Structure 1
Amino acid sequence: MNKNRQLAVNSNILFRKWLNGTREMVQDTIFHSRLHKVNQKIRSKRMFFEQDVHSNYFSFYKKKDFFKENPVSYVRNKDFTNVLKKLKKGKYYPDIFLDLHGLNQYQARKKLGQLIAICQKEKMFCAHIMHGYGKNILKKQIPFWLSQHPDIVAFHQAPKMFGNDAAIMVIIEIHS
C-alpha cells in the first residue's frame, strides 16, 4: 500500500511538471436568448388572430328561405360550376374533417373559421364538415355562413359514404 501511495505522489509531481507554465482555463457561462420562445409566442398569437379573422366573415343574421332546397349546394360564380359538378358526383376526397356535433352556434362559427385558416395554411382545398341532425340549427346555419366567406369556392351536401345530409363538403380557395 505504501508503494501505491508513493506512485501516486510521483505521478502527481510528474503531472505538475508537464503542466508547468499553463494556466487554468476559465469556463464561460453562456446565456441563451429567449428570442426563439418569443417568436413561437408571436406565431401562435398570429395564427390565433388569423383563425379569428376568418370567423368574423360569418354573421348570425339569416335571410328567410336562403338555402331551402335539398340537397344544399352553392357555387361562388359560374366559373366554378365544373367544380360543383365534380363535388356533387363525389369526385373529391376530403383532406380534413371537422366534427361540429355538440357545439353551439358560437363555438361552431369559431371552429369553421379555424378550419378555413388551417386549410389555407396547409394548402388543403377540400374539407368535410359534419354538423349532424339534431335540431337542424347548425344544418341551416352552416351553409349560410359558408356562402358569406370569400374563400369558399363551392359546397354541397356530402355523398352517402361521408354522411349524406348530416354533412357538407367544401372546396376552399388556396392563396399562394
Structure 2
Amino acid sequence: MDKNSRYTVDSSILFRQWLNDTREMVQDTIFHSRIQKKNNNHLVSQRVFFEQNAHSHYFSYRNNKNLFKENPVSYIRHQSLYNVLKNLKKGRYNPDISIDLHGLTQHQAQQALGELITTCQKEKIFCAHIMHGHGKHILKKQTPFWLSQHPDIIAFHEAPKFFGSDAAIIVIIEINSLKKNINIFN
C-alpha cells in the first residue's frame, strides 16, 4: 500500500513540475448570429386557423331553448337521411375521434367544435364523440343547437351509456368524398 500511495505522490509532484511553465489560455469565443430560415409553417398554421374559424362561424349565440327540449336529443339534416339517424340510435357507429368540452366557455367550445369538424374532414372521419357534460346545462343546451346550424353535420344523437349517455353526443359529419355518394350510410 505504501508503494501505491508513494507512487501517486511522486506522480503528482512530477505533474506539477511539468505544468509549472504553462499559462492559462485566453478564451477567444466567437458568437455567430443565427440565420433566420424562411419556412412555410407560419403560412400553414394561418390556413389551419382560418379553416377552424370558418367552421365556428356557423354557430350563433342566439338561444333557441324550444328547439331541443326532447330527451334524448337527436337531429337529422334531411328526412332522406333517416337511416343514418336510425343506425346512430342503435349504436352502429363507433366514433373515431372524441372531444371534451368540460370547463370551456361558450366561445371556446364553439372554436373547439370548429376544430373538430375541420380535423374530421381532413382525416376523413365521419363519426365523432362530443362530451359536453352536465354542469349548469349551458353547454348541454347550446351544443345541439350549434351543431344543428352547421351545414356539414348530417345527424347527431345522444350518446349511448358507454360513451356518456345524456352528457355526450355522437355526431355524423359530412366529408367531401361523402357529399358525392351519400349511400355509404345505408
In 1, distance between residues paired with 2:86 and 2:63? 27
Q: How does 1:133-172 map to 2 (within 5 A)?
A: 133-172=134-173
In 2, distance between residues paired with 1:33 and 1:136? 49
In 1, distance between residues paired with 2:36 and 2:64? 54
- Runs of 4+ off more than 2 Å: 32-35
The superposition leaves residues 57-85 of structure 1 with CA deviations (integer Å, 9 ceiling, x where unpaired) of 00010223110100000000012110000
Structure 1 counterpart SS, 2:141:
helix
**What amino acid does structure 2 have at the position aligned with 1:110?**
Q
**What amino acid does structure 2 have at the position aligned with 1:53?**
A
In 1, distance between residues paired with 2:160 and 2:86? 12
Structure 1 counterpart SS, 2:89:
helix
Structure 1 window deviating more from structure 2 (55-64 vs 121-130): it is 55-64
Count of paired positions: 143
TM-score normalised to structure 2 length: 0.74
1:56 aligns to what?
57
2:28 aligns to what?
none
TM-score normalised to structure 1 length: 0.78
Unaligned runs of 5+ in 1: 1-31
Unaligned runs of 5+ in 2: 1-34, 178-186
Would you say the 8 A contact 2:74–2:158 is kept in 1?
yes
* Root mean square deviation of aligned Cα: 1.4
2:131 aligns to what?
130
**What amino acid does structure 1 have at the position aligned with 2:49?**
F
Is 1:109 the counterpart of 2:110? The answer is yes
